[in-house]
Amino acid sequence: MIQVIAEITGSIQGGLGCLGAAIGVGLVGFKAAEAVGRNPGASTKILVQGILGMALAEAVAFYALFIK
């Protein structure tokens, strides 16, 4: 019984970590698109910062899935 509870809590941890990463990536993409709309001349710099932000948000999902 304890093993089943441990597996369930690990799955919840992984699911919440991935949910948080998905929300983070969505917010970064939304704000990057908004920033390019406001200042199209800075799109290259915004793209680089957006990709870095998305990569850092995705790292949270990997930590949640692989470190249990």
Q: Summarize pLDDT for 7-61 with one digit per residue, the tens.
A: 677 688 888 889 999 999 999 999 999 999 999 999 999 999 999 999 998 898 8
The C-alpha atoms of residue 25 and residue 67 are separated, in whole angstroms, by 21
21: CATH: 1.20.20.10
What's the domain range around 13? Answer: 2-66
Contacts of 63 (CB under 8 A, 6+ apart): 17
The per-residue pLDDT for 6 is 66
What single DSSP character describes residue 1? Answer: -
Cα of first residue to Cα of last residue in the chain, in angstroms, is 18
Q: How many domains does the chain have?
A: 1
The C-alpha atoms of residue 31 and residue 46 are separated, in whole angstroms, by 10
The C-alpha atoms of residue 22 and residue 24 are separated, in whole angstroms, by 5
Q: Summarize pLDDT for 39-51 with one digit per residue, the tens.
A: 999 999 999 999 9
The residue with greater pLDDT, 4 or 65, is 65
In terms of average pLDDT, the best of 2-6, 20-24, 62-66 is: 20-24
